[in-house]
Amino acid sequence: MLSNRQLFLLNTAQTSTSPRLIEIEKAEGLYLYGPDGQKYMDLVSGFAVSNIGHRHPRVLTAIRDQLEKYLHVTVYGEFIQAPQVALATKLLEQLPSTLNNIYFVNSGAEATEGAMKIAKKYTGRSAFIAAKKAYHGSTQGALSLMGDEKYKIPYEPLLPNITYINYNELNDLSKITTDTAGVVLEAVQGEAGIRVPDINYMQQLRKRCNETGALLILDEIQTGLGRTGKLFAFEHYGIVPDILLTAKGLGGGMPIGAFIARREIMDVIKENPILGHITTFGGHPVSCAAALASLTVILEEKLMDTVPQKHEIFKAHLKHPLIKEVRGIGLMMCIQLTSFQQVEAVSKYCAENGVMIDWFLHHETALRVSPPLIIKEEEIIAACTVIKQGLDRLSA
Ligand code: PLP
């Protein structure tokens, strides 16, 4: 009989020639467990998803309660489904009044697609601005925004009329013009290796969008909910986007995404023609129930308040001659090393010694640190110790 590892390689599509091949049997809180007694402290959170930890009891209860009522009943936007309504209401309560309407989808990429569509129809323009080294998803519209040719060339032609700017570069804001439908930017660049923009840059960006009538579309798919110490990172900058994208950490471990805008922008998809954006499973009732429970946990347990201090604990314990810099905001951090060989070797050592850590799509020389927000001080210290041991072996 073939092992799961063999069947994985044989029967499921591979996204690289070197998958990590770590088998997971169970996950709970901060920890992932393998089939042979392995226990890993998860410093990746399934790529910024498990913000309240794996299988949070309140999320499980919400899922079970919804299972007793209904699963899928119809496409998004037709029937009144209480879990969707409750999630939308609770989420909007947390947001500025100009972000007052939500469209639920299944993923981050779909949120990007939906936002691009409403920006085009609302403004009557078709050009977009995106940043170099951006990542907004893998579908063709979202991929068109990716500021790295290597990933796009085999799939061309993609969307035309996209201009790439350098992230956090004030001079490049002049490329936003009255032809621009939308500027799509990550609130903190993730896959570029965690790049936190200056407050002044974000404020000037907002100003330039106001001057030109371009919609500011902030991708908070990785930064949300709570990861940077605020529910959404735009709160750090004193600005409000026209369209907010969320996914990943929204669902408490279940698949869901959303694009959020003011009503008059969102309304463009409901007529001329009707059904301007359709999804069968978007806002699945079980995902919405889980997301509501997760949001409630983040707010009631005041998880965001603990984030800046945990950031500092990581920084204090990540001191090593091979670490060039520890960068980031809140629990969206990276450890800057010198080469991919170092990153790969340390990740391997960490996995073998019970710490799951990873790297970035566009930045191969840094380690990704984005643990569940529930991580405790002693766990941070223990994780940092293993990382430093991995680095010691490199220097030995
Ligand atoms: N935007 C950002 C900033 C992301 O990090 C990601 C995924 O990594 C996406 C969009 C795409 O989200 P999804 O994988 O759910 O389509």
Q: Which burial class, exposed, middle or buried, applies to 6 when counting CB atoms under 10 A from its CB (0-12, 13-18, 19+)? A: exposed
Look at residue 43 in the predicted model and tell me its pLDDT. Answer: 98
- Predicted confidence at residue 113, as pLDDT, reads 98
Residue 233: phi, psi to the nearest 5? -70, -25
137 ligand 1 Cβ < 6 A = yes
Check which CATH number belongs to the domain holding 11 and give it. Answer: 3.90.1150.10
Residues 214 and 250 reside in one and the same domain: yes
Give residue 190's pLDDT band: very low, low, confident or very high (50, 70, 90).
Answer: very high
Residue 107 corresponds to which tokens in the numbers above? Answer: 């993923």
What digits encode the pLDDT tens for the residues 79-107? 999 999 999 999 999 999 999 999 999 99
For residue 107 and ligand 1, the question of a CB distance below 6 A is answered with yes
**Residue 163 to residues 44, 171, 172, 217, Cα–Cα distance (Å):** 31, 14, 10, 15
Going from the Cα of 220 to the center of ligand 1, the distance in angstroms, rounded, reads 9
Please tell me the distance between residue 137's alpha carbon and the centre of ligand 1 in angstroms: 5
The span from the CA of 105 to the CA of 255, in Å, is 9
Residues 6+ apart with CB under 8 A from 326: 314, 315, 318, 333, 334, 335, 336
Q: Is the pLDDT of residue 136 over 80?
A: yes
Q: Is the model's pLDDT at 396 over the cut of 80?
A: no
Query: Is ligand 1 within 6 A of the CB of residue 186?
Result: yes
Q: Are 158 and 68 in the same domain?
A: yes
Give the domain-ending residue among 248, 275, 300. 300
* Helix or strand holding residue 263 (H, E): helix 263-266
Q: Are residues 154 and 19 in the same domain?
A: no
Exposure string for 352-373, b = 16+ CB within 10 A, e = fewer: eeebbbbbbebbebbbbbbbbb
Name which of 225, 153, 226, 233 is nearest 185 in CA terms.
233
The reply to whether ligand 1 has any atom less than 6 angstroms from the CB of 310 is: no
Separation in Å, CA 355 to CA 11, 115, 141, 254, 267 = 28, 36, 35, 23, 46
Q: Indicate if ligand 1 lies below 6 Å from the C-beta of 53.
A: no
Question: pLDDT tens, 333-376?
Answer: 999 999 999 999 999 999 999 999 999 999 999 999 999 999 99
Domain stops at, among 274, 300, 326: 300
pLDDT at 144 over 90: yes
273 and 375 both lie in a single domain: no
Same domain, 227 and 325: no
Quick check: CB of 195 below 6 Å from ligand 1? no
Residues 145 and 248 in one domain: yes
Number of domains composing the chain? 2
Name which of 46, 130, 133, 69 is nearest 371 in CA terms: 46
Mean pLDDT of the residues in the chain: 97
Separation of alpha carbons 277 and 252, rounded Å: 25
- Evaluate: CB of 109 within 6 angstroms of ligand 1: yes
Domain of residue 333, residue span: 4-55+302-395
Residue 395 reports pLDDT greater than 90: no
Query: What are the phi and psi torsion angles at 129 (to 5°)?
Result: -115, 135
Query: In this structure, are 340 and 391 located in the same domain?
Result: yes
Helices (H), 49-173: 57-67, 82-93, 108-123, 140-144, 149-152
Q: What is the pLDDT of residue 214?
A: 98
> What are residue 310's phi and psi, to 5 degrees?
-65, -35
Ligand 1 pocket check for 146: Cβ under 6 Å: no
CATH code for position 86: 3.40.640.10
Considering the domain architecture, whether residues 223 and 315 belong to the same structural domain is answered as no
Q: Is there a single domain that holds both residue 261 and residue 364?
A: no
**Together in a domain, 370 and 289:** no
CA 214 to ligand 1 centroid distance, Å:
23
Q: Which one of 44, 110, 221 would you pick to mutate in the ligand 1 pocket, going by the greatest count of ligand atoms within 8 A of its CB?
A: 221
113 close to ligand 1 (CB < 6 Angstrom):
no
94 and 35 within one domain: no
Q: How far apart are CA 185 and CA 200, in angstroms?
A: 15
